[in-house]
Amino acid sequence: MTEALQDRYAPNGTCFGCGPKNGKGLQIKSRLSGDDVVATWHAEKFHEAFEGALSGGIAGTLLDCHSNWTAAYHLMRRANADTPPSTVTAEYAVKMLRPTPTSGAIELVARTVEMSDDRAIVEAELLAGGKVCATARGTFVAVKPGHPAYHRW
């Protein structure tokens, strides 16, 4: 699939990290690559913590939203469903390994490492200049109608 998961399954989403309709958001575009989910993103000056280095908060948001879509896609596939479930972040941890340069492409790679019917554990990497700059591990849970985040991407 070359179409971004966000564009296919939540074209009206307004999430700051991944919503296609959020003109001031990051607009992450997560795509399948085998069992991994990948994205390429480019920072702007206002995403920097200091000259030439990505803000840690932006790095965390990139990893969180990209991992959430990885979980949603794999839960959909596990359930043999046509659309992904609404998923939320139950917990995630980010390790900053080095400053992330903003001068070129920033790559995101995520994979589901554990899964049950309603939750997935995802591990992800944020790379720039061919180097891993940050990693994340999180648990993402499918929510049901009545939850404030249900179908609110």
SS3 of the chain: helix, strand, coil, percent, to 5:
20, 40, 40
pLDDT of residue 153: 73
pLDDT tens digits for 100-134?
999 999 999 999 999 999 999 999 999 999 999 99
d(CA 124, CA 122): 7
Closest by alpha carbon to 66, among 110, 24, 27?
A: 110
- Residue 78 predicted with pLDDT over 80: yes
The pLDDT assigned to 114 comes to: 98
Q: Report the amino acid identity of residue 149.
A: A
Interval 16-53: pLDDT, tens: 999 999 999 999 999 999 999 999 999 999 999 999 99
Dihedral of alpha carbons 39, 42, 47, 50, sign: positive
Only one residue has tokens 């966000």, namely 6
Phi and psi (nearest 5°) for 63?
A: -65, -40
How far is Cα 139 from Cα 93, in angstroms, rounded to an integer?
9
Supply the DSSP string of 92-137, one letter for each residue. EEEEE-S--BSSSEEEEEEEEEEE-SSEEEEEEEEEETTEEEEEEE
